[in-house]
A and B are shown apart, each in its own frame.
Chain A
C-alpha cells in the first residue's frame, strides 16, 4: 500500500539517505506525534503546527508526510461517511494521536483492515452508530469503554514523551492486539445483550402483528360469506362470536394458506349454506331443502366442535356454541319460523389498506437488511434506530434504538415518504475506518476494497506461515487477485460438482424407494385379490355344504350333532357345518317371544328379525338389544330338543299399526 500512498500523496518523492538530514528524525517525529493534543486537527496539520510553534525548521519526510496526509484524509472521510453523534465523535478524536503514531511506525497500518487499531475503530464505530445522548445509562457502557481507551492511549503517549528513546516506548503490537480483543469482546457482549432485548421486542411485535393479521383475515372471510345473505340470528351470533375467535386461532396456528384454514373455510360456508333462506321451487323442492338441512345437521356439529379452538378447554361452552347452529337447523327441520337478518360486517383492521403495490416498492426498501441502522426524523427529534423487523406481507417495519427498545413502527408507504423527504437516512457501519483508509488510498468502491483486503489478508497469512516479518510492506498485485479468484472459482466448481453428485444420489434413492413402494403396493393388491378369492371359495363351499344337509341321512346321530350346535355364547352364530339341517315347521312372526333354557340361565328373547334368505334369526330384549343369533337349523334343533318355549307369537306393535290403518 505504501507505494500507492506515496504515489497519491507525495508523487515523485522518495526517501534518500542523502536527504535524510532535511527531515525530522524518527525519534523527533514520534515525540511530536505523542504531543498531538490539538485532536480536532488532522495529523499532518497538527504536527506541522507543533513544529511551527517551537520554531522547528525541519518537517516530516515525504514518506511520513504522505502517510500523515493519507491518514488525515481517511479520518475526514470516515467522519463524514460514517457519522456518529458529536459527543462520541469528539471522544474518538482523542484516539487520533495513537492512530498517527501507529501509522508512521508500523507498516501493517498501511493495509486497511490489517492493523489491530483498524479492527478496534471499525468495531467501535459499528457499536457507536446507534449511540445517542438520550440513551442515558444504556449508552454509558460504550462511553466508559471509549474513556478507558483514551486513558490507555494517553498513558502510552506520556510514556513516549517521558522516554529518552521514544522508539523503545512505543506500544508493542501485542498490547494493541490485546486491547483490540478486549474492545471486540466488550462490543460483542453488549451487542448480544441488546440482541436479546431486540428479540423480545420482535417476538412481541410479531405476535401483535400476526394477531392483527389473523383478525383481519378471519373478519374478511366471515364478511365475505355472511354479509350478503339473511341468516338466523343464532347463526350470526355463532359466526361473529366463538367461530370468529376460533378462525383467528387457526390462522395463527396454521396460517391462512394451510389445509386447516381451507377446511374451516369450507365448514363455514356449509354452515351458511345450510341455513340460508331458500324458497321451494320446481328444481329445489321443500323435501330436498329439508334433506340438505338434515345432512348438515348430522355432519356439521362434529366438525364445528373439532375446530372450535377458542372453546376447546370448555366442553359446555363448546356445546352452547354449536347449539346456536343446531337450534337453527332444528327449527328448519321442523319447518318453524326463524328470525333472520343480514349480519353487519365485522370490523376489518385498516392495516391492509394503503399498501404499496409490489412494483412500487423501491430497492432501498427491498434491500434493507435486519440490523441496518438509520437516522429517522421523528416527533421526538432525530433518532438513530436499527431495523429489527421487516414484514413484507404486512409492509411493516419496526425499528429499535441501541438499548433494544422499540422506537418506531412504520409502514413501507410512510417510510418511503420520509425517505423522499430526507427524513430517513441509512447509516453505514461496516468496516468503517478500514474502508475509509482504502478509499483515501484510491480504492473507491466496496468491491475493490473487499478484494484488496482479502489479498492483504492472504498475503499476511502466507507470510506469517513462511515466517517472514515484513508483512506490512506487501502490496498485492492484480495478478495475485486473479490467481486467487481462479482458485476460488475452481473451489466453487468442485463444490458444485459435489453438490450435483449428492443431488443425483438422492434422486436415485428416491426413485428406488418409489419402485419398492409400487412393488409393495402391487403385492398387497395381489394378496387382497387372493384373500377375496379364498373367501368366495369358502363361501361357495359353505353353501354347498348347507345344500347337502337339506335332506339329512335317516341314520344320522341327531343328538350329537344338535348338541354340538348349541351356543354357549349368545352372540355367536351357529356353525352350519356342525348342525344337521332341520327345518322349523312353525312360523314365528316378528315380535314373537321365546324362552330359551338350553343354557344355565334361562333367557326370554323376542324375535327381531328372521332373514328368509339366510334362514337366520336374531333375538333381542324389550329395548331391541341383540341377545342371540341363530341359524334356522339350530333353532329347529333347539325346538326339537325342547330347549325352547314359544311364549307369544303376536306382535302387539303390529296390531297397533293395523288398528291405525282401520
Chain B
C-alpha cells in the first residue's frame, strides 16, 4: 500500500485542511473541516496524522498550507489508506493527489520537487 512508493518523499511537517464533509447544496447543513499535520510529502501525495478517521477511497478537497501568510493550496485527494493507532487516539492516512482542472496541484508539484532537490544538496 503506502510502501509501494514511486516518488521520493520528504518528511516536512505542514498544516493540512481536509474537508471531511461538504456543506450541503442548500447550505442548510454546514461542512466539517479537519486540521491535521503531514508526516511526509511527495509530489503526488502526502502522509498525515489526524484525529479523525478518513474513509478509504473517498475523494476529498484539501488545503495545504505551504506558507502561513498565503492561502493554502487547494487540491483534490483520494484517501489511499487510513489506519487507527493506539486505540483510535489518532489516525495515520495516505492521500493521493488527483489531477483536477482548477486545483493548485501544479504549484504543489513544483514546491515539493524544489524541496526534494534542496534536500539532496550536500
Contacts and interface: CB of A to CB of B under 8 A. Distances in A.
Interface of A: 285-295, 297-299, 301, 319-320, 323, 326-327, 329-330, 333-334, 587, 589-591, 593, 595, 604, 606, 608-613, 618, 620, 622-626, 647-648, 651-654, 656-658, 660-662
B86 A333 contact: no
A610 B105 CA distance: 13
Interface in B43-88: 47, 49, 55, 57-61, 63, 65, 69-72, 74, 76, 79, 83, 85-87
- Chain A CB count within 10 A is highest, among B61, B74, B92, B100, for B61
A620 B33 CA distance: 17
Contacts of A625: 55, 57-58
Contacts of B59: 608-609, 618, 620, 624, 626
Contact of B61 (A299, A591, A593, A618): A591
A590 B49 CA distance: 25
Contact of A622 (B21, B49, B69, B71): B21
23 contacts: A287-B13, A290-B40, A291-B40, A294-B11, A297-B85, A298-B92, A323-B86, A326-B86, A330-B86, A589-B102, A590-B101, A590-B102, A593-B25, A610-B101, A611-B99, A611-B100, A620-B59, A625-B58, A653-B17, A657-B72, A660-B63, A660-B72, A661-B71
B11 A289 contact: yes
B53 to A, nearest CB: 12
A298 B11 contact: no
A69 to B, nearest CB: 88
B72 A612 contact: no
A606 B99 contact: no
Contact of B22 (A330, A622, A662): A622
Nearest to A657: B63
A476 B20 CA distance: 100
A288 B69 CA distance: 25
A653 B61 contact: yes
A287 B55 contact: no
B71 to A, nearest CB: 3
Given A333-B39, A595-B25, A620-B58, 13 more contacts: A288-B11, A290-B13, A291-B10, A294-B47, A330-B49, A593-B25, A608-B61, A613-B99, A623-B20, A624-B55, A625-B55, A626-B59, A661-B70
Contact of A656 (B25, B27, B33, B60): B33
Nearest to A589: B102
Interface string B6-33: 0001111100010111111101010101
Contacts of A657: 17, 63, 71-72, 74
Contacts of A333: 39, 49, 90
A622 B31 contact: yes
A589 B102 CA distance: 6
Given A298-B92, A609-B100, A651 B61 contact: yes
B86 A622 contact: no
B69 to A, nearest CB: 7
B31 to A, nearest CB: 6
A94 B32 CA distance: 103
A234 to B, nearest CB: 10
B120 interface: no
A249 B22 CA distance: 50
A286 B103 CA distance: 30
Contacts of B57: 625-626
Contacts of A613: 99
A609 B69 contact: no
Interface string B88-104: 01101010001111110
A323 B49 contact: no
A50 B87 CA distance: 97
B71 A590 contact: no
A656 B23 CA distance: 12
Nearest to B9: A291
Report the 5 A-B pairs with minimum CB-CB distance, sorted nearest first: A661-B71, A291-B11, A624-B58, A294-B39, A287-B11
A624 B96 CA distance: 14
Contacts of B119: 285
